[in-house]
Amino acid sequence: MPVLDLGGILLVSIQGELADNAAVDLATDVTTAVSTTGARGVIIDISGLDMVDSFLARVLAEVAASARLLAAQAVLVGMRPSVAITLVELGLTLPGLETSRTVAEAASRFGVEIREDPERRAARGTDRTPT
């Protein structure tokens, strides 16, 4: 899973089906990248996920907690509406996780401007996003 350095903030786009061990690797990779780059923020884009279960929710919450201990803030972006409905019913509202609507909006929290191409708005997390 690639972790992109956008100059002071990191961008992680989770794509498609994620095996449990891949999720754990992701947590390690992101936390290590926060430490080595000294990033202030970590944007986690989950618009590519059609399902988040309690295992993955816990991994995401742990990434955010580890990032916070390293003085970086994690922001979750692009959750699909069907995933949000399911997570709430499951009882997992992820109170420790900050959310933003788009990657650009999340980046602007950290003073990084990303110009969004109006023709192809990425990472809005619709249920029509292809997997």
Partner 1 sequence: MSTDERTETTLPVRNDTDLMAVRQQVRAMAQRLGFGLVQQTKLVTAASELARNTLVHGGGGSVSLEPTSDGDGREGLTLRFVDEGPGIPDVELALRDGYSTAGGLGMGLSGSKRLVNDFSVDTAPGRGTTVSITLWSPLAPFGRR
Residues 6+ apart with CB under 8 A from 83: 46, 49, 50, 51, 52, 125
Question: Using the rule CB under 8 A, is 15 a contact of partner 1?
Answer: no
Which helix H or strand E contains 13, and what residues bound it? strand 9-15
Q: How far is the CB of 59 from partner 1 (least distance, A)?
A: 11
Q: Which one of 3, 25, 58, 129 is in contact with partner 1 (CB under 8 A)?
A: 58
Q: How far is the CB of 125 from partner 1 (least distance, A)?
A: 13
Best CA proximity match to 31, nearest among 69, 4, 57: 69
Contacting positions for partner 1 (CB under 8 A): 17, 19-21, 50-55, 57-58, 80-83, 85-86, 89-92, 127
